[in-house]
């Protein structure tokens, strides 16, 4: 309702303000939220096997087109694809068994990561219809209104709010996207210009678009980055991508981390919480039931790599200075 600025959104805004106060009393000073309509991150394959034998999350553009065109059969979706894309999607769809169609559908509309309640196809069509008349400009306006309503409370209680980028960072399913580019970040931070209004820098989301320079973004907005989601993706020529190892892929995590460690916008006591996001499933976790992207061993491997990277960059910086 807050995203649509409809229904009981005013009551929920008041609840949100009270929640910020409650969290602050418990010592929580960083709140990550998102403004993606209906779904959080979207993937077509939750068990994509990579060359090492580990399993990763993957977004395949052809598989997604097959879902949208021939399973969901969303009105107007054919206008978004060219003839070649539709043909490839049709071939892909025709090669799916009934079970594989169900798995693809479940992967895409399973709901929020960490949750256990998804949608049926009919429910999903209905909720998509609620956004039929909400444009990108409308969602931008609603996001600004949300921040105008809650940031003053965040300032009063000492809480930093930070929004992650859209994932993937472009429109899907006819839904608007408002945090996909550097221009989106600039608008978001300037419209509600408060130190408590910041971003979650997710290196795996922004980089899917070739026009997002991760190092440049990190340098420019260092003092407004309140949360780091360090993960990397391998981007393919057709826009498909999968979650790579944390120090592999296209995200240039070393460059981003170095930009932050050497930034003149950050004071010595500035603290940015960090997490190794979306680890690959490997070793003993392969046989366990885990939330997609959040198995333990792959993320702990990533954390060890990130800690080693940070230590190495800090050491190199001191060594060079001397």
* Dihedral (CA of 263, 266, 267, 273) sign: negative
Looking at residue 269, its pLDDT comes to 79
The whole-angstrom separation of Cα 284 and Cα 268 is: 40
Distance in angstroms (rounded) separating the CA atoms of residues 221 and 181: 13
Would you state the pLDDT for residue 318? 83
Predicted pLDDT of residue 286? 96
Token readout for 246 is 């944390």
Q: What is the C-alpha to C-alpha distance for residues 176 and 264, in angstroms, rounded to an integer?
A: 35
Provide CB contacts within 8 A for 30, sequence distance 6+: 159, 160, 162, 226, 227, 273
Per-residue pLDDT of the chain (322 residues; tens, 9 = 90+): 999 999 999 999 999 999 999 999 999 999 999 999 988 889 999 999 999 999 999 999 999 999 999 999 999 999 999 999 999 999 999 999 999 999 999 999 865 555 556 688 998 999 899 999 999 999 999 999 999 999 999 999 999 999 999 999 999 999 999 999 999 999 999 999 999 999 999 999 999 998 999 999 999 999 999 999 999 999 999 999 999 999 999 999 999 999 999 999 987 778 899 999 999 999 999 999 988 899 999 999 999 999 999 999 999 988 775 5
Please state, in angstroms and rounded to a whole number, the distance separating the CA atoms of residues 25 and 23: 5
Beta strands 225-230 and 274-276, pairing class: parallel
- Compute CA distances 188 → 171, 178, 204, 238, 302, whole Å: 18, 9, 20, 29, 30
DSSP string computed for 220-275:
HTGGGEEEEEE-EEEE-TTS-EEEE-TTSTTS-HHHHHHHHHT-TTS-TT----EE
Q: Length of the chain in residues, anyone? A: 322
Residue that the structure tokens 């979306």 belong to? 278
Whole-number pLDDT of residue 321: 59
Output the furthest CA–CA distance in the chain (Å, rounded).
Answer: 65
Q: How far apart (Å, rounded) are the C-alpha atoms in residues 41 and 252?
A: 21
- E-strand ranges in 107-196 read 160-163
User: Strands of 225-230's sheet, edge to edge?
Assistant: 30-32, 160-163, 197-202, 225-230, 274-276
What's the pTM value of the predicted model, to 2 decimals? 0.92
């Amino acid at each position: 309702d807050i995203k649509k600025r409809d229904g009981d959104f005013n009551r929920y805004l008041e609840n949100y303000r009270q929640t910020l106060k409650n969290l602050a009393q418990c010592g929580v000073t960083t709140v990550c939220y998102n403004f993606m309509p209906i779904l959080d991150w979207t993937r077509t394959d939750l068990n994509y096997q990579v060359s090492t034998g580990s399993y990763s999350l993957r977004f395949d553009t052809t598989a997604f087109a097959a879902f949208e065109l021939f399973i969901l059969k969303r009105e107007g979706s054919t206008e978004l694809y060219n003839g070649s894309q539709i043909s490839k999607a049709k071939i892909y769809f025709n090669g799916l068994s009934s079970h594989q169609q169900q798995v693809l559908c479940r992967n895409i509309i399973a709901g929020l990561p960490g949750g256990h309640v998804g949608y049926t196809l009919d429910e999903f069509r209905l909720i998509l219809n609620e956004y039929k008349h909400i444009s990108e400009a409308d969602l931008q306006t609603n996001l600004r209104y949300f921040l105008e309503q809650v940031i003053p409370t965040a300032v009063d209680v000492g809480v930093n709010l930070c929004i992650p980028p859209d994932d993937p960072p472009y429109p899907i399913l006819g839904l608007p996207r408002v945090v996909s580019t550097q221009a989106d970040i600039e608008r978001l931070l300037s419209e509600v210009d408060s130190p408590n209004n910041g971003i979650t820098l997710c290196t795996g989301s922004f980089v899917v678009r070739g026009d997002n320079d991760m190092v440049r973004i990190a340098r420019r907005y260092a003092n407004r980055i309140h949360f780091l989601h360090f993960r990397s993706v391998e981007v393919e020529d057709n826009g498909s991508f999968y979650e790579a190892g944390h120090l592999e892929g296209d995200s240039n995590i070393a460059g981003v981390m170095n930009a932050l460690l050497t930034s003149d916008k950050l004071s010595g006591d500035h603290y940015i919480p960090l997490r190794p996001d979306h680890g690959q499933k490997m070793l003993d976790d392969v046989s366990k039931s885990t939330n997609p992207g959040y198995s333990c061993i792959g993320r702990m491997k990533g954390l060890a790599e990130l800690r080693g990277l940070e230590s190495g960059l800090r050491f190199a910086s001191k060594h060079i200075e001397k």
